[in-house]
Each structure stands twice: as C-alpha cells, then as structure tokens.
Amino acid sequence: MEKEMVIVLDFGGQYNQLVARRVRECNVYCEIYSYKTDIQKIKDMNPKGIILTGGPNSCYEEGAPTYSRELFELGIPVLGLCYGAQLMSLVLGGKVEKAPVREYGKTEVFVNASSALFEGVGEKRVNVPAAPIAMAGHERNDNATQCWMSHFDYISALAPGFVSVAHTADCPVAAAENKAENLYAIQFHPEVLHTIEGTKMLYNFVRNICGCAGTWRMDSFVETSIKEIREKVGDGKVLLALSGGVDSSVLAALLAKAIGSQLTCVFVDHGLLRKNEGDEVEGVFGPNGSFNINFIRVNAQERYYAKLKGVEEPERKRKIIGEEFIRVFEEEAKKIGSVDFLAQGTIYPDVVESGLGGESAVIKSHHNVGGLPDFVDFKDIIEPLRNLFKDEVRKAGLELGLPEYLVYRQPFPGPGLGIRIIGEVTGEKVKIVQDADYIYREEVDKAAREYKEANGSDPSWMPNQYFAALSNMRSVGVMGDERTYDYAVVLRAVRTIDFMTAEAADIPFEVLQTVMSRIINEVRGVNRCMYDLTSKPPGTIEME
C-alpha cells in the first residue's frame, strides 16, 4: 500500500512543527520541507496535499521566500496559512498589502460553513459585523469561531477564481478558496490551540479535501518499523546506548521486539540519575524484565564523582559528563567487539531543528552526549524514530508495552543531577537532591491526582517540568534545640509548551508547605526550602 503523505512547506514560521503535528493528529502522515525544495522532488513524493506555513516576511518584498506558480497547478490541493495564504494570493494574481489594522491574538472570525474547509465549524451568530471591504463573490459568513491572528499584511484583492470564505471585523479575507482548483488560504493559525476549532479545519483539509484515508497510526508504525528493522539488520548485531529517557527506552523496546538478542543495550549509570531510576531501567530491560536482549549496566558513579571533584563551572561539568559517557560507552563497546549497527534515538524535532527538515534551523544548544563515539566499530547507524514527534514516541512506547511511568517521564537533562547541584558535585549532595526531588515529585503527583479525581481534569497549575535542585548555599537554622548550618533546596516547577519560554507554576501553597516540611524532616543536611518564581526568559528552566 502506498503511504499517504501531506507535505508542509516551511516558510520560516515559528509554528511549522505544530502544523505537522496537528496533521498527524488527524492520522495523516506528514513531513516538513523547506520552501526551497525543488518542484520535481515534490512531484516525486506524490503528496496528497501541500500546506504552506506562516513566515516572518512580507511576501511582496524583494527577495522574500516564494514559490513558483507551478506548485498551485499540480492538481494537488494546497492550503496556505498566514504568510502561505498571502503568498498564494500574490503568486496567483491577487494583491497583498500592509493591513490598515494589525490583527494580533484571539479574534472572532466569521466563517462560511458551506466551505469544505469550515464544515461543522463555528456557531450561528446574528448581528455579524460586516467585512470592512465589500468584495465580489463575498458570501455572507455568519458562523462565529475564535481563531489566533498574527499578521501585519492582508489580502486586499483576491486572486482570480477565489472567493472569501471568512472575515473578521477588521479583515475582509480571513480565508479564501478556489474550489475548482482545490486551493485554500487561511489568514489565521489553525495549528495553535487558541484557534479553538483549528484541528477540525485541518482535518477538513487533509481528510475531506485531500481525501486522505487516515491510516497513520502508532500500531501500524510499530508493525512496519519492526519489518523494516528486520530487513535492514538481517542477522547483524546492534548496539544502543540506553539512557533510560523516553526516546532511548522506546527505541530499545522497538529493537528488542524486532531483533531480540541481536541487540545489546549499554546503560551507563553515572550516579546523576533520579532516585531509583537506575533500578527502574534495569527492572524493565535487564534480565528480570520482559525483553530478551543483552543488557549491560555499568555502575560508573564513583568514576564520575572523581572526575567532577572540585569542578564548579556548569559548562565544564556538562562537558565532563558528556565526554565521560562516551569513554565508558566505548570501553564497553570494545569488550563487545565489532557490531554492524549503532542505534540512535534521534526524533523528528532533532531532524527539523538541525536544519535538515524545514527552514527554521535552530542552533541546538543541548547535547546529551559529547558527539558520536570515535572508537566504536560499527558499519552503519540506524534511527528508527527519526520521523516521530515526541507524543508519537510515547504512543509507540505504550504500544510496545512499556510502563507508563517510563513513557510519561518528564524531560530530564542528559547531564542529569550534575546540573541540578550548583557548584561542585559530590556523592553526598547527589543523595540530598535525589531524596528531596523524590519527595517533591511524590507530593505534587499526589495533589494533581487528587485534583483530577475530584474534577476530572488536570489542575491549571499542573507543571510540565518540576524538580528539586540543590543550591550551594548553606545557612543557619534551628532544629529542636540545636543550631544547624545546612543546605537550601530549591523547588522548581514550570508551565511551558515548548520549553523555550516558561512560567513558574502556581502550585497551591499547602502542597509546597507539605513538601517543605517533609524535605526538612526527612532529608538530612537540608534546613531550608525555597520556591523559584523566575520565568524563562530571563531565567532558564534548569539552574545551570
């Protein structure tokens, strides 16, 4: 069966990955390509539909990203979003200018429910404000829905063959279509959550207009991948560095299902993992777990602590931890001898961010490991998760039977607790931060669970990442009748969508107080607890 695919052509917009994710939520497979992609390559991929993303430019400016008219004449349905909508109009003979009113934020949009794009969208409204400019072919749009607008320019004249199918109080063309040619343009952003019915609009496009059957599912991904891995690997040997994070765990499970004992996983316990984490990983993948693989756990704690002795500077700590990982891994690999494949847990956002997929190349500042090992003898690399988004990786993990606590693990930095201990790392400090962090997570999880049981949904304060860190500060306190001089633990919890910006989560004060009193009572060496209120920016999520 040929794979159905929709292509997202990236014009540099910040939401390019989100567009692709939403399309995949409609069970349609989708990949991101730069707007510079050659038309022949697009034809060869034979997509069922093409989506043009937003972008930071004005499409009428000299040198602005563009695409030739041919793209719209392939007979493949095209949907332009924001910049993509304007570009489509301009290339096809309409007019785009600086808008008299800049629309930004949540905006009420009036859509024509008889357009295939807006089938089932919005609610009937009386007293709909008229479009600011009357246009030929402008139907009466009276179904209202909330959308997210962000544009300086606007479509001031429709391209021949197009009609406006949505307007706002300030914008005559919030959406347009040329039904005969299957061309659609949306001025707002259906991919962001503030566009309440955005997913329905994208569903209408990919499923109804493009005619995709919606066969992209995680069970079929798992099944197909297992087949592909078997074909590629044959009876060869595969080596994987297992960190215990979501990506490498899902990868290990997938490879285990595909090739079983041909897989060797090396799990380096660097002594900077969360409490019990090393044993949890061993429990799942080790000899008592349910997978039939070669599992090697290297207990390298002391080796790491020795390397980190006296080192205070965060970047140096990161570098040491990364490099040491490579050395330990290499030593184990040498014992195993030559392997055929090295497996890597690369996922789709890594591919896009490294500039290979879309247009907006972000410079990656985080490296879990300090590059590829130099001295591991392998012939080829395999990256079976390379086309998946994080939420899809999690779904694949559940499909493969991994426990939920592993699949829904919150993000954890490669250098681990090494960057959650300010200043020098010692075994004693690691123990303190592990114990404090365990209590903190336990109490937050409990409060969130109770809230959910009572209200049916997560609390509004539910953090996306939360952990305890150890400040390097010691201060005076009293415990019983004794004077103490102990460490201060910092509690961090943030709400964020993309981890690029974040806000401190407003965890209820009673929960924080319980955490504080438990940590001070139960964790030796701590006499003070602080809650970090800093947003990102100017702060970062981690403290180092």
In contact, 114 and 141? CB cutoff 8 Å: no
The yes or no reply on residue 80 touching ligand XMP (CB under 6 A) is: no
The CA distances from residue 477 to 67, 196, 428, 474, 482, in Å, are 67, 51, 20, 10, 8
- Which letter does DSSP use for residue 48 in this model? S
In contact, 211 and 198? CB cutoff 8 Å: no
To ligand XMP, the closest distance from the beta carbon of 544 in angstroms equals: 8
Q: Considering only residues 189-218, where is the footprint of ligand XMP by CB under 6 A? A: none
**Rounded Cα–Cα distance for residues 93 and 10 (Å):** 22
Q: Which is nearer to ligand XMP, 344 or 368 (CB)?
A: 368
Q: Which is nearer to ligand XMP, 23 or 328 (CB)?
A: 328
**Rounded Cα–Cα distance for residues 33 and 18 (Å):** 14
Q: Which is nearer to ligand XMP, 216 or 466 (CB)?
A: 466
To ligand XMP, the closest distance from the beta carbon of 290 in angstroms equals: 27
Q: Which alpha helices (H) appear in 245-343, and where do they start and end?
A: 246-259, 277-285, 301-308, 314-336
To ligand XMP, the closest distance from the beta carbon of 34 in angstroms equals: 26
* CA angle (270 as vertex; 268, 274 as ends), nearest 5: 105
Residue 176 identity (one-letter amino acid): A
Site string for ligand XMP, 373-412 (x = CB under 6 A): --------------------------------------x-
- Which letter does DSSP use for residue 247 in this model? H
To ligand XMP, the closest distance from the beta carbon of 254 in angstroms equals: 21
Q: Which is nearer to ligand XMP, 37 or 496 (CB)?
A: 496
Q: Which is nearer to ligand XMP, 293 or 369 (CB)?
A: 369
The CA distances from residue 420 to 80, 131, 412, in Å, are 44, 55, 11
To ligand XMP, the closest distance from the beta carbon of 383 in angstroms equals: 17
Active site residue 191: yes
The yes or no reply on residue 536 touching ligand XMP (CB under 6 A) is: yes
Which residue is catalytic, options 26, 30, 59, 82? 82
Q: Which is nearer to ligand XMP, 118 or 412 (CB)?
A: 412
**Other beta carbons less than 10 A from residue 117's beta carbon:** 26
Identified binder of ligand XMP from the candidate list 278, 415, 418, 463, rule CB under 6 A: 415
To ligand XMP, the closest distance from the beta carbon of 271 in angstroms equals: 17
Q: Which is nearer to ligand XMP, 167 or 318 (CB)?
A: 318
Spatial neighbors of 431 by CB under 8 A, at least 6 apart, are none
Only one of the segments 166-174, 191-199, 208-216, 536-544 lies at the binding site for ligand XMP (rule: CB under 6 A); that segment is 536-544
Q: Considering only residues 306-335, where is the footprint of ligand XMP by CB under 6 A? A: 318
Q: Considering only residues 440-499, where is the footprint of ligand XMP by CB under 6 A? A: 465, 499
Site string for ligand XMP, 116-155 (x = CB under 6 A): ----------------------------------------
The yes or no reply on residue 416 touching ligand XMP (CB under 6 A) is: no
Which residue is catalytic, options 138, 167, 189, 270? 189
Please choose, from the candidates 317, 312, 383, the residue with its C-alpha nearest in 3D space to the C-alpha of residue 346.
Answer: 383
Helices and strands (DSSP H and E) totals, the chain: 14, 19
Only one of the segments 51-59, 124-132, 290-298, 535-543 lies at the binding site for ligand XMP (rule: CB under 6 A); that segment is 535-543
Identified binder of ligand XMP from the candidate list 414, 418, 459, 463, rule CB under 6 A: 414
The CA distances from residue 355 to 21, 42, 359, 386, 393, in Å, are 18, 18, 6, 14, 21
To ligand XMP, the closest distance from the beta carbon of 411 in angstroms equals: 4
The yes or no reply on residue 368 touching ligand XMP (CB under 6 A) is: yes
Q: Which is nearer to ligand XMP, 67 or 412 (CB)?
A: 412
Identified binder of ligand XMP from the candidate list 366, 379, 452, 524, rule CB under 6 A: 366
Only one of the segments 326-334, 413-421, 472-480, 512-520 lies at the binding site for ligand XMP (rule: CB under 6 A); that segment is 413-421
Active site residue 167: no
Please choose, from the candidates 229, 238, 233, the residue with its C-alpha nearest in 3D space to the C-alpha of residue 339.
Answer: 238
DSSP string, 184-218: EEESS-TTSTTSTTHHHHHHIIIIIIS-------H
The yes or no reply on residue 349 touching ligand XMP (CB under 6 A) is: no
Q: Which is nearer to ligand XMP, 86 or 243 (CB)?
A: 243
Please choose, from the candidates 288, 214, 291, the residue with its C-alpha nearest in 3D space to the C-alpha of residue 250.
Answer: 291
Cα 433 to chain center, whole Å?
27
Phi/psi for 471 (5° steps) reads -75, 160
Strands 143-157 and 95-111: antiparallel
In contact, 292 and 335? CB cutoff 8 Å: no
Q: How many residues does the chain have?
A: 544
**Other beta carbons less than 10 A from residue 123's beta carbon:** 10
Q: Which is nearer to ligand XMP, 111 or 272 (CB)?
A: 272
To ligand XMP, the closest distance from the beta carbon of 464 in angstroms equals: 8
Active site residue 82: yes
The yes or no reply on residue 534 touching ligand XMP (CB under 6 A) is: no
Number of residues located near ligand XMP, criterion CB under 6 A: 13
The yes or no reply on residue 413 touching ligand XMP (CB under 6 A) is: yes
Residue 413 identity (one-letter amino acid): P
Q: What does the binding site for ligand XMP look like in residue numbers (CB under 6 A)? A: 318, 366, 368, 411, 413-415, 465, 499, 536, 540-542
Residues recognised as catalytic: 82, 189, 191
